[in-house]
Amino acid sequence: MWNKLLNNFSIFEKKDAFVIQERHYSYAEVRQLAASMQYYILSLKTQNKTIGIYLNNDITTYCLMIASLCSDFCYVPLNPANPAERNLNIIDQAEIDVIFYSHLDAEMEIIQTSLKDKIIFKNASQFSLSSSELRVFETSLNKNAYILFTSGSTGIPKGVPITHKNLFAFINAFYALNINIDSSDRFLQMFDLTFDLSVISYLIPLFVGASVHTVSDNGMKYMQVYSVLEDEEITFAMMVPSMLSYLRPYFEDLKFEMLRYSFFCGEALYEDIIKEWAVCVPNAHIINIYGPTEGTVVCMAYECTPGITATKIYNGIISIGKAMQGTKLLIKKEDGTIAKPNEKGELCLSGPQITAGYLKNEEKNKEVFFFENNERYYKTGDICFIDSEGDFFYCGRTDHQVKIDGYRIELCEVEHHVRECCNHQGVVVLDRKNEKGSMFLHLFLENYLGNTEELSIALQAKLPDYMIPKVITNLASFPLNSNGKVDRKALRRMM
C-alpha cells in the first residue's frame, strides 16, 4: 500500500500535494522533505520506534507523518492546545523516543524541561529538501502505524493504537464505496491531526494524486472553511455537522458548485439542515458516515443527497446506513441478547478495522471488547437500532441516557422535540441535580432569538413533564472541542 503512495510522488511530482496558507507544495517537494526526515529518523538508535509530532498547520507536520508511515515507525500526534501535563502523560504512555516540533511555545518548553535528559527533541523546521529518495521499509501489518489518544472517563487519556492492517482495511473499505475521486480533486482538510477524520482528508487524496487544502488555525474556523471551500474550489469536503450550524446564517449566499462530495461524521446529522445545505452544493453527493476512533476512522456510510435518495431519519437524525466492506455489526440489548430489527441496544463492531485494544489498559479492554460467535467485537457506547432493510440508526449515547422520576430518557429525543418546536439547530440538553439531589434537564440554546417561555409552553404540548427542561440557557455560541464538535463537558461546567 505504501509503495502505491511512493509511486504517486513520482507520477504526480509537478502537481500540488498540499496547499497550506496559500503556499503550494508539489508532490516532488513533499517527497524530498519526507526523505530528509526519513533519513534522520532511521539514523536514530531508538528502542521503541515511536515518534511524537507536536502538531502545527505546516508542511513539516504532514511530511513527518508520511516519513514515519514509510519507515516502520509509529507516530503519535501531540496537540499544542493540550496542557503540558496531558501531553506528558501521552508521551509516557506511548513510550515516545523523540519529539519533533516546528514551533516553540510555552507548553513545549515545559515538556522539554521535564524530559530533556530522557528523550530527543528535534526542530523539524531545520529539515531541508533532500536529494536522497524516500523509501518504503517492510513492516509487519500488525505493527502500529499511529496512536491516537481520546478522552478517558478517569481524566487520563486513552491510547488507541491503529496498526497498518487496520489502516489498510479502512483505505480499501473506503475505496469500495465507489467514490469517484482522482488526481483532479481538491480535498478540504479542516481537522486537528489528533482527530482521526483527518486521515480521510490528508491520506486518501495522496493515494489518488489529488491535492490537500488545509484550514488555517487563525481566526474563526468556520470562516476559514468557507474561504477555502470557495477560493480553492474544493471538490471533496469532510466536515463535522457543527460546522453547518455556523455556516447556516450565510446559506442564502453560498453556492459551492465545484463540490462533488460532501461528507459528514463525528456527530448526529440532522435532516432539516441537510435539506438547506443541499441547495448550497447542487452538484454534490451528501454522505453521512460513522465510526469511532477504535474502528479506524469510519466503518459505516449512508448517502442522503436530497432528490437522489429517500432519506431515512429517526428523531430528525439521518441514518448511519450499513457497514462498509469488512465490518460486521450487531446490536446488544441490556440483557445481553442480540436485538431484532427496530429494537434498541448498543452498537458493536467487528472486523479488520477494529483496534487490538487500548494501550496499557487491560481493565478498559475487558469492559469494551467481547467475543460473539468467535468474532471479537467492540462496544461503541452508541445506542442504535436496525430497520427491516438493514440500515442502522443512531439514537444517542449510552451515557446520554438518564433517569428522571424513574423514567428512562434519551437526551437526543428531547433535543429533537426542542428543535421541532423552535425550528432551531443549536440545541443541547444535559441532565443535572438540584439542591435536593433530584435530577432534571437543562436546555442550552445557541444564539436563539425566540422567546424561551413560549418554547417551554410549546414543549408541554409534546412532552410529559419529566422530559421538559426546567432551566434554559441561551448562549451566543456553543463551545467547541479541538475536533470541532460541540463540547458538552464545557457546557456541563457552565451549569
Convert 20-48 into a string of H (helix), E (strand) and C (coil).
ECCEEEEHHHHHHHHHHHHHHHHHCCCCC
Domain boundary among 382, 398, 414: 398
pLDDT computed for residue 32 by the predictor = 96
Cell 425566540 appears where? 450
What is the per-residue DSSP string for 234-245? -SEEEE-HHHHH
pLDDT score for 95: 96
What average pLDDT does the segment 213-228 reach? 90
Pairing of strands 236-239, 261-264: parallel
- Sole residue written with cell 468557507: 226
Same domain, 316 and 420: no
Phi and psi of 285, rounded to 5°? -80, 130
105 and 75 fall within a common domain:
yes
CA-to-CA distance for 489 and 495, rounded, in angstroms? 10
Q: Which residue has the cell 466492506?
A: 325
pLDDT band at 152 (very low <50, low <70, confident <90, very high): low
CA dist 373 → 34, 97, 169, 209, 268 (Å): 44, 40, 22, 41, 31
Residue 149 lies in a domain: no
In a domain, 312, yes or no: yes
Instruction: Select, from the ranges 220-224, 434-438, 462-466, the one with the highest average predicted confidence (pLDDT).
Output: 220-224
> What CA–CA distance (Å, rounded) separates 43 from 215?
33
**Helix H segments across 116-251?**
164-175, 198-206, 221-231, 241-247
SS3 11: helix
Domain boundary among 337, 365, 398: 398
First to last CA, the chain: 49
d(Cα 256, Cα 233) in Å, to the nearest integer? 8
- The verdict on 33 and 95 lying in the same domain is yes
Is residue 147 in a domain?
A: no
Same domain? 353 vs 440: no
Residue of 487, 483, 485, 486 lying closest to 193 (CA atoms): 483
Residue numbers of the domain that contains 73 = 25-139
Q: CA-to-CA distance for 106 and 112, rounded, in angstroms? A: 10
Let me know whether 346 and 260 are in one domain. Answer: yes
Strand partners, 170: none
**116 and 208 part of one domain:** no
Q: Give residue 247's Cα distance to chain centre.
A: 19
Looking at residue 309, its pLDDT comes to: 75
The Cα 94–Cα 40 span in angstroms is: 21
Q: How far apart are CA 350 and CA 459, in angstroms?
A: 40
How much is the pLDDT for 154?
63
Residue 437 lies in a domain: yes
Is residue 101 one of the residues assigned to a domain?
yes
- 424 with 458: CB under 8 angstroms? no
Looking at the fold, whether 347 and 429 belong to one and the same domain comes out as no
Return the closest-CA partner of residue 291 out of 245, 322, 262: 322
Same domain, 30 and 133: yes
- Which residues contact residue 198 at a Cβ distance below 8 angstroms, ignoring those fewer than 6 apart? 189, 191, 192
Domains held by the chain: number? 3
The three state secondary structure string of 345-388 is EEEEEECCCCCCCCCCCHHHHHHHEEEECCEEEEEEEEEEEECC
Question: Are residues 275 and 351 located together in one domain of the fold?
Answer: yes
Q: What is the pLDDT of residue 439?
A: 84
Would you place residue 99 in the very low, low, confident or very high pLDDT band (cuts 50, 70, 90)?
A: very high
Max CA distance (Å), the chain: 72
- Across the range 82-100, mean pLDDT stands at 93
**Structure-model confidence comparison of residues 397 and 293, the more confident one:** 293
In a domain, 448, yes or no: yes
**CATH for 83:** 3.40.50.980
Task: Return all residues near 87 (Cβ < 8 A) that are at least 6 apart.
Answer: 78, 79, 107, 111
Same domain for 54 and 130, yes or no, is: yes
pLDDT tens string 39-64: 999 998 888 899 999 988 999 999 99
3 state DSSP class of 14: coil
Residue 300's CATH number: 3.40.50.12780
Give the pLDDT confidence of 195-208 residue by residue, as tens digits: 899 999 999 999 99
Choose one of 398, 416, 433: the last residue of a domain: 398
Taking residues 106-125, what's their average pLDDT? 93
Only one residue has cell 496531558, namely: 86
Shared domain check, 366 and 277: yes
Backbone φ and ψ for 486, nearest 5 degrees, come out as -60, 130
As given in the structure block, the three cell numbers for residue 441 are 434537564
| Residue 390 within any structural domain of the chain | yes
8 Å CB contact between 259 and 281: yes
The predicted-structure confidence for 229-255, as pLDDT tens digits, reads as follows: 999 999 999 999 889 988 999 999 999
Q: What is the pTM of this model?
A: 0.87
Residue 450 CB: number of other CB atoms within 10 A?
A: 14
Q: Are 127 and 134 in contact (CB under 8 A)?
A: no
Predicted confidence band of residue 406 (pLDDT cuts 50, 70, 90): low
Lowest mean pLDDT among 142-156, 335-349, 382-396: 142-156
> Are 160 and 355 within 8 A, CB to CB?
yes
Task: Reply yes or no on whether the pLDDT at 151 is more than 80.
Answer: no
Residue 146: CA count within 13 A, CB half-sphere: 27
Q: Looking at residue 82, what is its pLDDT?
A: 86
Q: In whole angstroms, what is the distance from residue 443 CA to residue 457 CA? A: 14
Q: Give dist(CA 59, CA 63) in Å, integer.
A: 6
Residue 466 belongs to domain with CATH number: 3.30.300.30
pLDDT at 372: 95
Q: Are residues 386 and 303 in the same domain?
A: yes
Q: Is the pLDDT of residue 328 over 70?
A: yes
Cα-only R_g, the chain: 23
